[in-house]
A and B are shown apart, each in its own frame.
Chain A
């Protein structure tokens, strides 16, 4: 059995934080993705332009850079501006909130595209039929489009989740003691890098396997009522 030299609890705590940040960030990403997809699918105008700019920028810039910008860059900028105006201001951003929002907003960009694709995969004739029998736009979306969107979106969303959970390893640069950071701390204190990084990789793999099982169930649920080929 692997000897963790008393650092096992630290890995466990890191795992908890990693999962917590991942789940919160995924919730933010879904909310942002819904708004983004709505913007991208709307008629040409300000909303569509903004959504387009958002997905382009966020998907094009490395995550680490955005995290550093949000947590260090923005407060430093505001503090410097305040200092030049004669105020000694300290902006204390909570690292958990900053991490969740940054990762959520980044993966919201990918979620936007997944949801947009899922919406477009619902046959347009069904929407026209729903409108023809007198359903309004909200009801059409809730009862006709959304249930089928899940079916098309789930594989893509599962993919976003898998990438997102690994991206949480980046937030150690903003003082969050997630799994990767704690594995590094334990590895360096005990000089057993292989042991701790091996255990950390097993823990990441465990998250992924559990996620896959849940995703399969969710897909089975979303596909209920669809005949299998």
Chain B
């Protein structure tokens, strides 16, 4: 008798779970929680970061009831496929390889590549001002390709094995400029004590030909309703200024790109 009751309760629980999932007003979002400034866990154990704020704003804009689940990066796509959560908002770049397993929304950011100069150097990002200047860049990166294709004729390119080495030579005055991902430069140089005399200069480069499709929200294949809802949410917060407020909270440049 007891066993039968247990079985009934169990099957009821499954049915209840199934109806909630199809109603699609409740959505569980998965993130990593270890990738500042996009997502991290603060000293009170609360989720913080750009991904988290954008995710919450999209949910509010699309009237979804969202809850967060924190998941180690290694299991983040398997967890989505096993329905532990319905969408991944964890700074996941849209790549062809991942598109075979999951569907992506439109991008919600694409951190631009930017130049960094010494304060007071007066260098501008145009052919005349750049002529004869030395630019440090990490070797075999999309940034080196971009630099060669666009400014290869006018500047001297100095390629380094790591970004840290390029930064050190920049601080030592051996190169006049650096070109790299804006957030990487902000974290490793511009926002640090060593780099207090450096600043971003010039336009934000996001051309997909060199820099890819940016970062989107991943959903399970075939979850068209959810993807469309999230896309509408992204469009709405872009249009009503919510996105720009969140952008300004974390970065002093535009991370959406063109």
Contact = CB atoms under 8 A, between A and B. Distances in A.
A73 B41 CA distance: 28
A7 B40 CA distance: 13
A10 B45 contact: yes
Interface in A84-115: 87-92
A188 B75 contact: no
A88 B45 CA distance: 33
A22 to B, nearest CB: 19
Interface stretch (A55-63, A122-130, A141-149, A170-178): A170-178
Contacts of B36: 188-189, 191
Interface in B31-73: 33-36, 40-45, 69-72
B43 A173 contact: no
Interface in B69-100: 69-72, 74-75, 78-79, 81-84
B213 to A, nearest CB: 25
B163 to A, nearest CB: 15
Contact of B82 (A6, A75, A189): A75
A72 B72 contact: no
Nearest to B48: A189
A184 B81 contact: no
| Interface band, chain A | 20 to 34
28 contacts: A5-B43, A68-B75, A71-B75, A72-B75, A73-B78, A75-B82, A79-B82, A79-B83, A89-B17, A90-B14, A90-B21, A90-B83, A91-B83, A173-B74, A173-B75, A175-B69, A175-B70, A175-B84, A177-B70, A185-B40, A185-B41, A186-B41, A188-B35, A188-B36, A188-B40, A189-B34, A189-B41, A191-B36
Interface of A: 5-7, 10, 68, 71-73, 75-76, 79, 87-92, 172-175, 177, 181, 184-186, 188-189, 191
Given A181-B72, A185-B41, 20 more contacts: A5-B43, A72-B75, A75-B83, A76-B78, A76-B81, A76-B83, A88-B21, A89-B17, A90-B17, A92-B17, A172-B72, A175-B71, A175-B72, A175-B75, A184-B34, A185-B33, A188-B40, A189-B34, A189-B36, A189-B40
